[in-house]
Chain A
């Protein structure tokens, strides 16, 4: 069975603090894709990153970084020097088994991040 679990339901930090959102997944597939999406208050989800199962290199994009560890089935997301605009719900997701070329995703339950000024 496939499953995505986001460890934290809610996180509250003060601006400029670093924050890590944890994601643990389960799949029997050897080839799979993992994602992070951001949902601001406006409602639409915004794609942040995709990582395939063969690429365990960490990725950094500005203040965002991602740590993929296959050995622990985790794909954690860190925001460095958080800002108020980072306040949103963040979703970790995994592609449905056998659907490597589609948008059929299994989402975690989401982590609500509040960054206070």
Chain B
């Protein structure tokens, strides 16, 4: 089945450690996104990538890094510089074919919940 796979589902980290969240998609989508979800705040965009080897910062990129070496993969690293990393992280993808008709139609993974101890 086509979809987005995020791993791990739950992750615990000690303060000062970097951690990488995996996101893989087999939908053949060009664009991929990372959103962060906090209680009562909705989702906020961390990074996005519209093509391999290219990515842009979203609203809250500080303390995070990404790479896009393959079309299928868009891993997110939460670095020790992120002041408050405990959150639910959602990866999404979308097709850029079809232009405006596909605007905003995101396919999401089931998320990764990161807790800093």
Point out residues on A near B: beta carbons under 8 Å. 4, 6, 9, 33, 35, 37, 42-47, 50, 52, 91, 93, 95-96, 100-105, 107-110
Contacts and interface: CB of A to CB of B under 8 A. Distances in A.
Contact of A100 (B31, B41, B50, B103): B103
A33 B108 CA distance: 19
B101 to A, nearest CB: 9
Interface residues of B, number: 31
B80 to A, nearest CB: 26
A102 B42 contact: no
Contacts of B106: 37, 45, 47, 103, 105
Interface string B67-103: 0000000000000000000001010111010011011
Given A102-B94, A103-B48, A109-B41, A33 B110 contact: no
Interface of B: 4, 31, 33, 35, 40-45, 48, 50, 58, 88, 90, 92-94, 96, 99-100, 102-111
A6 B102 CA distance: 24
